[in-house]
Amino acid sequence: MADRRNTQAINITENSDPERYDLGRRQAQCALERYHYLCAAAQEAFTLERARGYRLFVRDVVSFDNYTAYALDPVSAKLHPRPDGTIHPGDIEIYVNSIVKNYKCSEGGIMYAIGDSRTFWNMVINYHSSAGTTGIKAWDRLFRQLKTSGYDKGIVPCMFFATPFGCNDPSCSFLHDKEKCVRAREKILARRRTTLGKPTPRDIAAREKVARKAYEASQRQVVLHKGSTTDGSLSVLGVDDDDDDDIDPELMKIYEDSAKIKAICNNPACLLTKMKRGTGEQGNSFVKMKVCSGCQMATYCSRECQTADWKRHKKEPCRPFKELVEDDSMWDDWGLRVGTGRFSFAK
């Protein structure tokens, strides 16, 4: 089989470029350690131990006493195998999405993903269970190839090659597949282009909040109208304490409608919603939305709304569409533009 590693020699010496040489040395050490964690995972050369002592959030310890090729430190992670050893399919789906949508995992491959201990080791546990899969076919295939190849480093993607700073190890023996990296990068950019054309989770959550408050206010009016007692107190109507699991159909409709939204006015004070055609809301299906000429992303129902929102929108920031797509700093680990998720997470 032809050698698919990088054929361009990296001519770095400690004297010619000491900073880059030191970076390459640290990259080599990190890659070597991740490689052995990968081998231990593929060989199932690990044991799981429940952490002792009281902890608010119980975590397990992945130990590698049975792995003798390299001294690996134990890994602490929240693991949740079921009695049959499998991980719940819904959890596996969440883990797979977190890998697929994370551009850093796309660049660094499986060895980068090892750094997310909870995600990686739960997927590995599922692979060695009756489920027989990590949830990612390429990972399953790599585990099999590692065993049949004698754990050849040359089939494992280098975790630095596709990153902006590149692989700086002159003697790197991991796979440098430029064409594959280009394809992976294009998939990430294509996903971002699609994401920028859709309402953000933040705007959908804001729309749901407004709709929910309006509905709750209408319900209070019903109580005020029908539930007043002679002493001026209020009686609670329409509440069934024995059926707490039932969700109000009107509230459920608010959340279900979120999947039918085509566009939302970017002005937080407006949030006029355009629904997809065929949803039964004909009035909102034909709302005209204008797109910001600066970013070609933010939508507005009128020039007045765009003017009112400009001070806030320009800080998002409002930048050319191509720049927003290609700037990694504008995207979080879940494939969402920074600051547009339903919840804010501290960096």
Residue 1 forms part of a structural domain:
no
- What pLDDT tens digit does each residue of the chain (347 aa) get? 233 334 344 566 655 678 888 999 999 999 999 999 999 999 999 999 876 554 555 678 999 999 999 999 999 999 999 999 999 999 999 999 999 999 999 999 999 999 999 999 999 999 999 999 999 999 999 999 999 999 999 999 999 999 988 999 989 999 999 999 999 899 999 999 999 989 999 999 998 998 888 888 888 877 666 555 444 444 444 444 444 556 788 888 888 888 899 999 999 999 999 988 766 555 576 788 999 999 999 999 999 999 999 999 999 999 999 999 999 999 988 899 998 988 764 44
Residue 335 forms part of a structural domain:
no
3-state secondary structure of 120: helix
Q: Of 181, 196, 211, at which residue does a domain stop? A: 196
Q: Of 175, 196, 217, at which residue does a domain stop? A: 196
Q: Which amino acid is at 163?
A: T
181 with 257, same domain: the answer is no
Residue 275 forms part of a structural domain:
yes
Residue 138 forms part of a structural domain:
yes
Q: Which amino acid is at 234?
A: L
53 with 176, same domain: the answer is yes
304 with 180, same domain: the answer is no
Q: What is the pLDDT of residue 230?
A: 47
129 with 207, same domain: the answer is no
* 328 vs 46: CA distance, rounded Å: 35
Q: What is the pLDDT of residue 20?
A: 85
* 50 vs 73: CA distance, rounded Å: 16
Q: pTM for the full model?
A: 0.77
Residue 281 forms part of a structural domain:
yes
Q: What is the pLDDT of residue 224?
A: 66
* 165 vs 36: CA distance, rounded Å: 23
184 with 245, same domain: the answer is no
Q: What is the pLDDT of residue 280?
A: 59
Number of domain units in the chain: 2
Residue 3 forms part of a structural domain:
no
**Angle in degrees, CA 282, 263, 102, rounded to 5:** 140
54 with 130, same domain: the answer is yes
186 with 261, same domain: the answer is no
Q: What is the pLDDT of residue 218?
A: 84
322 with 223, same domain: the answer is yes
* 66 vs 13: CA distance, rounded Å: 37
Q: Of 154, 172, 196, at which residue does a domain stop? A: 196
98 with 218, same domain: the answer is no
Q: Is the dihedral of CA 173, 21, 112, 337 positive or negative?
A: negative
Q: Which domain holds residue 25?
A: 18-196
33 with 126, same domain: the answer is yes
Residue 342 forms part of a structural domain:
no
150 with 234, same domain: the answer is no
Q: What is the pLDDT of residue 122?
A: 97
The DSSP result for 281-318, as a single string, is -HHHHT---EE-TTTS--EESSHHHHHHHHHHHTTTT-
Alpha-carbon distances of 167 from 118, 161, 173, 178, rounded to whole Å: 26, 5, 11, 12
The DSSP result for 71-103, as a single string, is ----EEE-----TTSPPPHHHHHHHHHHHHT-H
Q: What is the pLDDT of residue 286?
A: 75
Q: What is the pLDDT of residue 334?
A: 85
Residue 120 forms part of a structural domain:
yes
* 141 vs 139: CA distance, rounded Å: 5
174 with 235, same domain: the answer is no
Q: What is the pLDDT of residue 235?
A: 45
- The helix (H) or strand (E) run that includes residue 194 is helix 178-196
Any residues with CB less than 8 A from the CB of 275 and at least 6 apart, and which? 257, 260, 261, 262, 281, 284, 285
